[in-house]
Amino acid sequence: MMKRDATGRNEMTTSGTTATRADANPCCGITTPGGLTREQAESNAVLLKAVADPVRLRLLSMIRDSESGEACVCDLTPAVGLAQPTVSHHLKVLTEAGLIEREKRGTWAWFRLVPSRLDDVRSIFD
């Protein structure tokens, strides 16, 4: 019989004993929980969602390829052919994911990559 434990995981109950699904006999050959933890999967999903957009990938590549390693939103907006509020939204998503840093200079915002966070994206697939 299946029921949920306090953490929301499935439990199997038989003859008065309770075991979590990971402890039960596997049906498909996976014998250890292995893989990512829930926290790791959630963290990785934030990164992957942030880069899973063509405009955001273009913005990241433009910042990476700039001579100074940073780019002003005033240059990025015409380069992707979108309105400034749309570009700002995409840059905000990338900033919140920690992939870029924002620095305000006068009336303009400048962005630069966060190399360690890009390494985190690469490590998902290692």
Residue range(s) of every CATH 1.10.10.10 domain in the chain: 38-123
Angle between helix 84-96 and 73-80 (nearest 10): 110
Instruction: Give the Cα separation of 114 and 51 in Å (integer).
Output: 14
pTM over 0.85: no
Span 18-28, pLDDT tens digits? 545 555 565 67
Residue 77 has pLDDT above 70, yes or no: yes
Give per-residue pLDDT as tens, 91-124: 999 999 999 999 999 999 999 999 999 898 888 8
Better-predicted residue by pLDDT, 64 or 23? 64
Strand order in the sheet with 2-4: 2-4, 10-14, 17-20
**Predicted confidence (pLDDT) per residue in 30-60, tens digit:** 666 667 889 988 989 999 999 999 999 999 9
CA distance 73 to 112: 11
User: Looking at domain 38-123, which CATH architecture does it have?
Assistant: Orthogonal Bundle (1.10)
pLDDT for residue 6: 60
